[in-house]
Structures are given as structure tokens and as C-alpha cells.
């Protein structure tokens, strides 16, 4: 398994735990407390920032913004109970 996959799986589990326990001081828990609209707003903001980073041609900034987007997408997935396996299955279907 690639390092990327390992990190994504680990982060997904942490996000699930934060949703369940809602620890004080956790940015992730704060998003869950604010609800779906706030989570999706952040996904949208990060998507725009990622696009702008790509357009700027700054690789480091693009990597940074892409990480933010992926994190917020994971929060949205956990919020809806969508698993990484479900996403993987859909991607696999598209490879055929």
C-alpha cells in the first residue's frame, strides 16, 4: 500500500473518532458540531483554493491546498457515512 493510502485510511479513522467523541479543541469536531452546511461550505472553499493553486503554477501551494481539500472531503464522507471502500469500489468500476 502506498504512503498516500496509508495516510488516508489513518486520517479517515481519526475523523470517525472525532465525530463520535467530539473532543474539545478539535477542528474536526468543531466542523461536525456546526453541521453539514458548514462542512460542505469548507469543501467548496477548499476546492476553489485548490483550483487557484493549480492555476498559479506553485507546486508547493498546490500540494498544500490539495491536502486541505482531501481532508475536508473526508470529513464530508464520514459525516454521511460513506466509506473509503465504497469510493474505491466506484473508482474500480470506472477503470473497466
Say how many Å lie between the first and final Cα of the chain, rounded.
21
Distance CA 88, CA 91 (A): 5
What's the pLDDT score for residue 96?
86
State the burial class of residue 59 (Cβ atoms within 10 Å of its Cβ: 0-12, 13-18, 19+): exposed
What's the pLDDT score for residue 34?
98
- 10-residue stretch averages of pLDDT, the chain, 96 residues long: 93 98 98 98 98 98 98 98 97 94
What's the pLDDT score for residue 37?
98
pTM of the model: 0.95
Distance CA 68, CA 42 (A): 9
What's the pLDDT score for residue 8?
98
What's the pLDDT score for residue 72?
98
The single residue listed with the C-alpha cell 466542523 is 31
- CA torsion sign, 38 to 70 to 3 to 60? negative
Amino acid at each position: 500500500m502506498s504512503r498516500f493510502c496509508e495516510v488516508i485510511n489513518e486520517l479517515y479513522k481519526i475523523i470517525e473518532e472525532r465525530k463520535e467523541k467530539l473532543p474539545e479543541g478539535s477542528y474536526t469536531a468543531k466542523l461536525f458540531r456546526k453541521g453539514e452546511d458548514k462542512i460542505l461550505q469548507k469543501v467548496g472553499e477548499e476546492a476553489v483554493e485548490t483550483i487557484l493553486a493549480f492555476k498559479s503554477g506553485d507546486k508547493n501551494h498546490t500540494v498544500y491546498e490539495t491536502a486541505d481539500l482531501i481532508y475536508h472531503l473526508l470529513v464530508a464522507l464520514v459525516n454521511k457515512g460513506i466509506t473509503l471502500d465504497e469510493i474505491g469500489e466506484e473508482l474500480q468500476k470506472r477503470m473497466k
